Structure 1
């Protein structure tokens, strides 16, 4: 069954404008689209220039200025798919009740529907407190240029609503693992692999030992995972490799485990004493735990959803991080996964479910007006 929805043409424009994190024209083009949507409305717009080769951020403000803490919405407009994806591997299209395209699920669909809810609430003038909406350009690489802004706005708010995609058939997120990122660089000693083999110290061999040690740190019973997913080294087939490197992704469920794992990974020691091992990085996102305040905010959201005719559920702590990790770690009640339902984030089968747009838009409007 084909489901027609007035949201589809407008959202399709957003999805068709490709905006991978490091493609500044695309990311800033997305910020232009947001700014153009609120022209003439009772919404103030602040544009913050990007830095370090990344795109701009946009802050929208509306609602009453009554001295109360704000309700904050947060969305990112960068994606992971390279420019050209829509032309070949993942064209923007509707198939049944699915809208396909790069970033539609993670998270342009959520950003778009939340903007409509923000506009609806601003025009209605029914909000009890100020409303702030932050759009960022760099979440997909860990928010290196916007973490301070996220924490500043979040810390001044009574609640934060993050429009990352829904999980498992529409569930929202009330807890996320913390995320650590590390780079391991190894320096050995080069030598001819035929005539001077014994003189060399193989950096790739050392990397193999270190990778096995890092992977062995995974402890499913404690919710700790360590992953080596990028690796490189060497110069030629007949040279003992002098250099090698690999990256480490670490996920934890508690702040204490994050500190412990950071110490373990930064403290890696060479297996071969003639080889140098250098580790950099650390915990990038603190864990986002389901506190009593988060649980209370979730129950309010459930009541609003029930009034709109759907049963809102949350999911167990998810392994992926988001900007909600930063605000939750400040003790600010945070709800995440409020965006579009669908599947296929970061893949060439990514889609959003069109029927999920209207109820989730109504949920966010309800939260903005009643918190």
Structure 2
């Protein structure tokens, strides 16, 4: 593919900045690590773009916000938290080898963040551009959602720098996603002497797993997948408690309502068992209609670029649900998100940085009064 309206960016400089970010580990919920990471992100933005990046403190860690001034027109959205625990870097350090860059968080999503910053740095004018880099995307964005929605509405267009889909495709739609926890309370008793005196929470959980799995409608994009189960204490005790964790993905708001109602209506099969349900489809679906305008701009800049709907969620789900034009998957080309083989393709970094610059200019031009 040939990029139209290319700007000059340095891949070597991007790789050095990427190394800097990766070597400050930032696992979700680790407030000390996230504080250090936020300061590094803010310093990188300031060094490349000028101005001042603001740290917005929250119970989940600091979010980073930067503005190029002027009337807001486009929000660059990303996150600096990663799924990898402290110590991963020692086992899997940042490396550049065989055309790939590897290291914890390189694809999801520090590579995309670096590309966005360098693409903006190549612009003569950054007026109307805002950057928001949150600290809790990997754990549901509970502390950042209101801020994300506020800045998305203020800007009117959102570019999300999560990693690209397979083959470098942009993400033009996403399923809504959520997690439910089903807690079951029974009654303990001796498994040999008085098994009938107990209420077996594990048996109740088996009934619930089958009922919950049956809620899925894969033919319309709804998946309901029990993923974690725990029960019992000792091999000779009737389990008094059990817990189920369930992953849910939906393509439509109607399915979100149906699934949440079905979980709320779960009832026990065993007499005297009790069930408590927590959770929701916290990220609403991102309809493909939200990306039509921005994807057309991307195609004009990079003919042959592909778009696809995916099952995973991002903060773009929130902004699209507000009716704000949103385009996702603009980050690094690569793969292995959340896995030890995570990587990005180095030869794609310049093209993606150029795409950022071109999209920002196109959005600003389209919103001129």
Q: With the length of structure 1 as denominator, give the TM-score of the two structures.
A: 0.91
Whether 1:55 and 2:61 are equivalent positions in the alignment is yes
Partner in structure 1 of residue 78 of structure 2? 75
Task: Give the superposed CA RMSD.
Answer: 1.5
How far did residue 95 of structure 1 move?
A: 2.0
Partner in structure 2 of residue 354 of structure 1? 346
Q: Secondary structure at the match of 2:203?
A: helix
Partner in structure 1 of residue 7 of structure 2? none
Instruction: Determine if contact 1:5/1:354 at 8 Å carries over to the other structure.
Output: no
Q: Distance in 1 between matches of 2:64 and 2:14?
A: 22
Partner in structure 2 of residue 274 of structure 1? 272
How far did residue 7 of structure 1 move?
A: 2.2
How far did residue 106 of structure 1 move?
A: 0.5
Task: Provide the aligned length of Structure 1 versus Structure 2.
Answer: 352
Unmatched 5+ stretches in structure 1: none
Alignment of 1:135-146 (within 5 A): 135-146=133-144
Instruction: Determine if contact 2:46/2:52 at 8 Å carries over to the other structure.
Output: no
Whether 1:84 and 2:87 are equivalent positions in the alignment is yes
* Distance change in 2, residues 1:323/1:296 (3 Å): same
With 150-159 and 164-173 compared, the bigger mean Cα shift is at 150-159
How far did residue 42 of structure 1 move?
A: 4.2
Q: Distance in 1 between matches of 2:358 and 2:37?
A: 26
How far did residue 50 of structure 1 move?
A: 2.1
Alignment of 1:106-117 (within 5 A): 106-117=108-119
Decide which of 300, 308, 312 is 1:320's aligned counterpart: 312
Q: Distance in 2 between matches of 1:153 and 1:71?
A: 9
Instruction: Determine if contact 2:35/2:62 at 8 Å carries over to the other structure.
Output: yes
How far did residue 269 of structure 1 move?
A: 0.9
Partner in structure 1 of residue 225 of structure 2? 227
Partner in structure 2 of residue 36 of structure 1? 43
CA shift digits 1:215-262 (9 cap, x unpaired): 122221010001111211212111101111111111000011111111
Q: Distance in 2 between matches of 1:111 and 1:244?
A: 41
List, as ranges, runs of 4+ consecutive aligned residues in structure 1 with deviation greater than 4 Å.
Answer: none
Partner in structure 2 of residue 97 of structure 1? 99
Instruction: Determine if contact 1:341/1:356 at 8 Å carries over to the other structure.
Output: yes
How far did residue 38 of structure 1 move?
A: 3.6
Q: With the length of structure 2 as denominator, give the TM-score of the two structures.
A: 0.92
Instruction: Determine if contact 2:19/2:94 at 8 Å carries over to the other structure.
Output: yes
Instruction: Determine if contact 2:42/2:54 at 8 Å carries over to the other structure.
Output: no
Instruction: Determine if contact 1:44/1:62 at 8 Å carries over to the other structure.
Output: no
Partner in structure 1 of residue 188 of structure 2? 190
Unmatched 5+ stretches in structure 2: 1-10, 364-369
CA shift digits 1:309-354 (9 cap, x unpaired): xx31101x21100000000000000000000010110111111111
